[in-house]
Structure 1
Amino acid sequence: MQSFSTSSYLSFFFLFTTLSFVKTVLTQDGFCSAPLRIGADSNSQPLYWKVTNPTLSPSHLQDLPGFTRSVYKKDHAFITPESQVFSPLPDWTNTLGAYLITPAIGSHFVMYLAKMQENSKSGLPPSDVERFIFVVQGSAVLINISGNVHKLKVDSYAYLPPNLDHTVETDAAATLIVFERRYSGLENHVTEQIVGSTDKQTLLETPGEIFELRKLLPTSLAYDFNIHS
């Protein structure tokens, strides 16, 4: 199994570790002592609401032009919600996207948020590109070329092998994290479509840490990367 470059792996691992950390602290007051932008009780919010909403800005800075908590370094980037710029995604229907990681910053994969609206439909990735999707808000339906249908709810994910004809559709608003990478395979090793949910995966040991960690993809040679959540 191949591994990401330092820049690519740290960026991708950091985002999904952040998702796990968000799940851990949902019952707490927040990430810092500064007042939250929205005064609602965290327990009443959707699971990943802090991932897609700029709620952590100190109240006295929330309307300050140019204020952001985003960080861009040579070995990682963290693009917070107030810095995300959404525009229509090519070949997708009724969907806006915000790119978080691209080859322009040195990675060999693409990661973006896809905000799907009512009656939305995904496009296909480029030829020989594998795709991984993770639902952070709402729900979506995955349909592949064989006609198999899977409903993906929050915390569900799907791995789509390269050149697999498929669509992701919604009849209401949903937000996905989408990861795409040109597949680097080995002879006689073939990947398959995988659909799962993080709570069904085995917990890995993380001594001394406050977050939970799981591998979402098999560790066999056919899969040239893995996802930790």
Structure 2
Amino acid sequence: MTYYVPRGGLPGQDQLTTDRAVFTEAYAVLPRGTMRDIVTSRFPHWDDTRAWVLARPLSGFAETFSQYVVEVGPGGGSDRPDDAPRAEAVLFVVDGTPTLSLAGADHELRPGSYAYLPPGVDWRLRNGSAATATFHWIRKAYQAVDDVDAPEPLVTHEDDVALQPMPGTDAWGTQRFVDPDDVRHDMHVNIVTFEPGGAIPFPETHVMEHGLYVLEGKAVYLLNKDWVEVQAGDFMWLRAFCPQACYAGGPGRFRYLLYKDVNRHARLLP
């Protein structure tokens, strides 16, 4: 598998400033060129670690999740990774071999590894190698429901998750890491793949918020009323009901990591 990995740096003074970055009332696009050294963040209790914060809850926009690309240097990591007791998380590794300690067991991760971390679980992450390790970290405040247990921890790899074609086509499919009918889960993080020529053939318009990070390839994506070119390393952030569609013209596959909130009633009060 191929996964785009940001490396930071800073453009020279001879480079053009203009890029495809845009923030609108319905969507945002953060091209890979925006992920530079000077826009990284540091987190408490993380050693030799920096992160590109791609999304965070904003009132009136996408409100349910945050998403980071986290780069951990050799020997870095954290024994106290998250200070939010209600936070659940998904980690998806795109580079390196970090070790995830989860509920007393160690898991050697590699590119393509996926971990679901329920709220309140004890976890740590360390990079014991001589190279950097990079992973996506998607966080959400878990919405507990009476008489519905929280999900268990899960560690798997995308090689072990079958691609499920969409009805009527082999050109567009999804790798679902958890059962979509399991209402214990209030978020899904999947990988969507388009073969060259594949398309979403109608403007999806729905209540789920989205974060889409392009892992591989390029395509044109409909965001509200605009067709936008996107490529590996770009991030798209969609609020609820933003129309979306896609056409993947090739020459290779187009793949992205997709977040969406699911399986809960809409909140009627703050």
Q: Structure 1 length as normaliser, TM-score?
A: 0.69
Residues 78 and 199 of structure 1: CA distance in aligned 2, closer, same or farther (over 3 Å) = farther
Q: Which amino acid aligns with 2:3?
A: Y
User: 2-side partners of 1:48 and 1:140: how far apart?
Assistant: 16
Residues 63 and 198 of structure 1: CA distance in aligned 2, closer, same or farther (over 3 Å) = farther
Quick check: 1:202 aligned with 2:162?
Answer: yes
CA contact (8 A) 2:165 2:172 kept: no
Quick check: 1:158 aligned with 2:118?
Answer: no
User: 2-side partners of 1:212 and 1:109: how far apart?
Assistant: 24
Quick check: 1:92 aligned with 2:46?
Answer: yes
Structure with bigger helix share is: 1
Quick check: 1:117 aligned with 2:73?
Answer: yes
Quick check: 1:190 aligned with 2:133?
Answer: no
The aligned residue for residue 82 of structure 1 is 33
Quick check: 1:132 aligned with 2:93?
Answer: no
The aligned residue for residue 20 of structure 1 is none
The aligned residue for residue 52 of structure 1 is 6
Which runs of 5 or more residues in structure 2 are unaligned?
192-270
CA contact (8 A) 1:218 1:226 kept: no
CA contact (8 A) 2:93 2:114 kept: yes
Structure with bigger strand share is: 2
CA contact (8 A) 1:125 1:180 kept: no
Of the three residues 188, 191, 198, the one matched with 1:226 is 188
Residues 185 and 212 of structure 1: CA distance in aligned 2, closer, same or farther (over 3 Å) = same
Any residues of structure 2 matched to 1:53-68 within 5 Å, and which?
63-68=14-19
User: 2-side partners of 1:53 and 1:162: how far apart?
Assistant: 30
Shift of 1:208: 4.7
Quick check: 1:168 aligned with 2:125?
Answer: yes
Structure 2 residue matching 1:103: 3-state secondary structure: coil
Shift of 1:194: 0.3
Structure 1 residue matching 2:33: 3-state secondary structure: helix
Residues 161 and 63 of structure 1: CA distance in aligned 2, closer, same or farther (over 3 Å) = farther
Percent of residue pairs bearing the same amino acid type: 24
